[in-house]
Structure formats: structure tokens, C-alpha cells
Amino acid sequence: MQRYFMTLRDISLLCGLISSLGSVDCGLVDSTRAVATPAVGLNRTRVALGGPVEMSYRFTVAADAPPFAEDFRVFVHFLDSNGELMFSDDHDPPEPTTSWQPGQQIGYDRRLIIPVYPYLGEATVVIGLHEPTGGKRVPLAGEHLGGREYRVATIEMTPPTESVFLVFGDGWYPAESVPEEPDREWQWTSRQATLSFSNPHAASTLHLDVQGRPELFDTPQVLTLTIGGAVVKTIELASVEPAYHVVPLSSSALGDTENVVLSLNVDPTFVPSMVTNGESSDDRELGAKVFYAFVELD
């Protein structure tokens, strides 16, 4: 027996046709009263694989919405052209839903790094609210795709060739992570570490997510970025949390050579075994903790 399988997009199109004939809604029309209206704004409509996108979230709570009985999570799914899930950005909203009030507008921003996923083209961004356990979802207002998932945006995923390939050179230690966040990796620099890339001979932008250890020093560590000995940017590592920096790189700063070497110089550095009174046996000289580095053409 030959079997046929339909994707979420196929079902959506078919149900839209049936609904237009006045038959059934196929679950695409949620008859339950919506508790909020979601919206998502993107700072760009095209992004290269591995690149960053800034996402602005907004939930407008319905004027007649009942109180939330529990704290729901926001699920954000990125679907390919067939409606298949590629990756997600599920998260807890900064204000728990049990504190949301009728008529209130909840807004906040998040940054997402697009994974290097084997797909190019338009991706659909869908959103919803679900309970942390059990998977129960609440009705929202918007373009319903079924299953209480709502289309809020589209974005085009482009080849990595629209960015600049970085080579981690000298001065880097192997990547690390913790069991609680296995996908959140970082690499420590030593006193000086280098990143190299082919010169695009055009204005570019460096994205750098970095953290120091300010609690170990009387004054913050300083990260100095240089190309060919010339200072591009000086950053104080004053926060105990990772800080995201966007650094313009002019074509003149990149120079005329075919290969650009960007140096990350950290002062002062520290040795864990020396600053923990022997609690750590780590005798590496460490500078800064780098979570993300990415160069894109402007």
C-alpha cells in the first residue's frame, strides 16, 4: 500500500481551501478567545548562516483576558519551506505570565545566532505560549497555522559566503562548556590571541560576545583589538556577565594585505591556580572568555 505524508504547510494550504468553501476550519481557526496578540520585529530580513539577528518581542494582553494560572514559556520555531521545524529559540519571558495584566503590553529584545543549518531560503517564524510541563498551549490572536502556532515573521537564510570565515590562530585554548548549557560554548584567550580572515576590502562589522573576570582585579581588564599594530577598539571587561560588542571595521582599518590578522590583547591576565589559593589546579594564563566572534560585510 502506498502511503502519502503531508507537511504542516500542505495541511495549512488544504485547510485554507476547505475553509474558503465554508466547510470546516481544520483547527486553523481557534474558536477559544485569544488571551494576547504576539508580534516579532527583526532588525534584518536576510542573515547569513552563523550570523546574528536581533528580535524584538511584543505581547499585547487582551483587555478581557483572564489571569494566567501559571507561568507559560514562549516557544519560537523556525520552519523551512515545507513547514518542518529547523531550530528554535524557546525562552521564559522577562515578566512571568502570571504577572501579565489585561491590556498590558509586554516588550523585550533577544539576540539569536542563526545556526549553520543545511538550509537556504525563506524561513517562517512562528510563536506561541506553552506550559513548561505537559505542553498545554494558550490561544493567541494572529495568523494561526494550527496547533496554536502563529506566524509572526519570515527571514531569508543566506549562504555563509555573505559573511567572512574566521580562523582562530595562536593564543586560544580549546572550547569549553558546562553540562547545564552544552550548546553554550566559549574559548579562553591567553594574553594575546589572533583571528585571521581573507580581506574583503570593504567595510565590515565584527560581532564579539566576551566576558572577563572583573572580580579578580581592582580595576577592570582591558581588551584591545588591533590590526597591524593599529588599535581598532578598546573594551573594558567590567561586567561579570558576557557583553556583546558590535565593532565597525572600515576598509582602511583592514589594510591592503590579502589576509587580515586581528589581535585580541588582554591586560591583565590571571592564572586560576594562583587566584584560588590552590582550589584550582588550572595553571593556564587566561585573558578573556569569548563566546562568539563573527565578521560580516556591511
Predicted pLDDT of residue 78: 98
Predicted pLDDT of residue 149: 97
Question: Is pLDDT at 295 greater than 80 in this prediction?
Answer: yes
The domain made up of 161-297 has a fold known as Jelly Rolls (2.60.120)
Domain boundaries, the chain: 8-158, 161-297
Question: Is pLDDT at 76 greater than 60 in this prediction?
Answer: yes
Residue 117, C-beta contacts closer than 8 angstroms, at least 6 positions apart: 49, 86, 87, 157
Please check whether the domain covering 8-158 is classified as CATH 1.10.600.10: no
Burial of 17 (0-12, 13-18, 19+ CB in 10 A): exposed
* Distance separating alpha carbons of residues 171 and 144, to the nearest angstrom: 50
In the chain, % of residues over pLDDT 90: 81
Question: Is pLDDT at 260 greater than 90 in this prediction?
Answer: yes
